[in-house]
């Protein structure tokens, strides 16, 4: 029995678009912070006598596409391990699933680590990152503690995440809506590539933003990290809004929260907003300012559900006592 824990990560430079849908090779590199909140815990037990994988998701049997995606992932692990044996998978998310709070990242990172161990594979961090990527692209970054850069790479072997040194950052998550989103990021990414007139512009902008972000990390320049973060998120959403049929993830409340970030900066706090494929907004700030940013937001927008987070551990095995 192998149990692993992984945390979500939030990208400062986003991954939005695939060069290869089946290997999940991204069009561009990305850079993120793995958090210390909302862990996913996944247990994998190989059962040589079972006829099919049994997958339990938040205490209920998984069915349909969610189960198929996990079985397809286990098939990859079985190929690496040279076995056909089925498995029992039990996964528990403490983050609302499918709400744009990166549940697929923590989910596939935890599954990669637990399944590799259960099937007897000894994989280093890079190999685990490549494996997690095959489940969900952003999951390759949740293998890594703290700040991680996902190198787009040219093929399966060169597309992986690794740690990147930089200043100590924290985040404050504003939960606008914890319900599942209407269009999955997988579908929306495809639609952006196929229908948005801004798709190519996004790719060029994301490459330039990643280069700037790496400079900002190396220099420890939080102002530049924040500015690139906020602008990169809005550029991604602009490309998404160019889809047909249209997709818009940002709600009126999300936009109000971007305005709140500007007001916090006017008060002297270093807070910058970002948002993934959903209406929730995440504020990036120096780790030492997380509590001050949370308090200032509570005063500025009372009633907002706010969660403070700091840099967290990469996906790892845990001992479970029965």
Interface residues with ligand DP6 (CB under 6 A)?
A: 11, 14-16, 24, 30, 104, 136-138, 185-186, 189, 276-277
* Closest CB 191 distance from ligand DP6, rounded Å: 12
Q: What tokens appear for 115 in the block?
A: 């399944």
* Closest CB 276 distance from ligand DP6, rounded Å: 4
* Closest CB 278 distance from ligand DP6, rounded Å: 8
Question: Between residues 44 and 236, which has the closer beta carbon with respect to ligand DP6?
Answer: 236
Question: Between residues 189 and 243, which has the closer beta carbon with respect to ligand DP6?
Answer: 189
Question: Between residues 11 and 281, which has the closer beta carbon with respect to ligand DP6?
Answer: 11
* Closest CB 105 distance from ligand DP6, rounded Å: 6
Question: Between residues 119 and 202, which has the closer beta carbon with respect to ligand DP6?
Answer: 202
Question: Between residues 15 and 160, which has the closer beta carbon with respect to ligand DP6?
Answer: 15
The phi, psi pair for 171, rounded to 5°, reads -145, 150
Question: Between residues 24 and 205, which has the closer beta carbon with respect to ligand DP6?
Answer: 24
Query: How far is the C-alpha of 260 from the C-alpha of 266, rounded, in Å?
Result: 10
Query: How far is the C-alpha of 34 from the C-alpha of 47, rounded, in Å?
Result: 32
Question: Between residues 2 and 104, which has the closer beta carbon with respect to ligand DP6?
Answer: 104
Q: What is the DSSP secondary structure assignment for residue 311, as one 8-state letter?
A: B
Nearest residue (beta carbon) to ligand DP6 = 137
What's 22-53 look like in SS3? Answer: CCCEECCCEEEEEECCCCEEEEEEEECCCCCC
Quick check: bond before 51 cis, omega within 30?
A: no
Residue 250 contacts residue 28 (beta carbons within 8 Å): no
Q: What tokens appear for 141 in the block?
A: 């970054």
The bridge status of strand 161-163 relative to strand 281-286 is: unpaired
* Closest CB 185 distance from ligand DP6, rounded Å: 4
* Closest CB 142 distance from ligand DP6, rounded Å: 10
Query: How far is the C-alpha of 167 from the C-alpha of 278, rounded, in Å?
Result: 27
* Closest CB 136 distance from ligand DP6, rounded Å: 3
Calculate the CA 251 to chain-centre distance.
20
* Closest CB 52 distance from ligand DP6, rounded Å: 23
Question: Between residues 43 and 280, which has the closer beta carbon with respect to ligand DP6?
Answer: 280
- 285: which residues sit within 8 A by CB, 6+ positions away? 169, 170, 171, 172, 222, 226, 269, 270, 271, 272, 293
Query: How far is the C-alpha of 44 from the C-alpha of 90, rounded, in Å?
Result: 7
């Amino acid at each position: 029995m192998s149990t692993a824990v992984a945390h979500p990560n939030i990208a400062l430079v986003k991954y939005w678009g695939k060069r290869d849908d089946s290997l999940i090779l991204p069009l561009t590199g990305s850079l993120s912070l793995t958090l210390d909140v909302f862990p996913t815990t996944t247990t994998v037990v190989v059962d040589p006598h079972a006829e099919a994988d049994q997958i339990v998701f938040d205490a209920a049997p998984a069915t349909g596409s969610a189960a198929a995606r996990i079985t397809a992932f286990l098939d990859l692990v079985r190929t690496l391990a040279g076995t056909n044996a089925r498995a029992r998978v039990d996964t528990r998310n403490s983050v609302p699933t499918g709400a744009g709070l990166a549940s697929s990242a923590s989910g596939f990172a935890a599954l990669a680590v637990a399944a590799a161990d259960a099937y007897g594979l000894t994989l280093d961090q890079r190999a685990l990152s490549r494996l997690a990527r095959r489940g969900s692209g952003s999951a390759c970054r949740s293998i890594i503690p703290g700040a991680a850069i996902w190198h787009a790479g040219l093929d399966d072997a060169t597309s992986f995440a690794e740690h990147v040194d930089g200043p100590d950052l924290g985040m404050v998550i504003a939960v606008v809506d914890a319900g599942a989103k209407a269009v999955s990021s997988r579908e929306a990414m495809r639609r952006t590539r196929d229908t948005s007139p801004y798709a190519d512009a996004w790719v060029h902008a994301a490459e330039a933003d990643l280069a700037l972000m790496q400079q900002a990390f190396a220099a420890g320049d939080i102002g530049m990290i924040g500015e690139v973060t906020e602008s990169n998120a809005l550029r991604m959403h602009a490309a998404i809004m160019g889809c047909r049929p249209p997709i818009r993830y940002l709600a009126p409340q999300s936009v109000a929260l971007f305005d709140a970030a500007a007001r916090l900066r006017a008060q002297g706090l270093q807070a910058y907003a970002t948002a993934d494929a959903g209406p929730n907004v995440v504020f990036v700030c120096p780790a030492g300012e997380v509590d001050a940013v949370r308090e200032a937001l509570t005063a500025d927008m009372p009633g907002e559900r706010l969660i403070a987070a700091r840099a967290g551990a990469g996906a790892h095995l845990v001992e479970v006592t029965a």
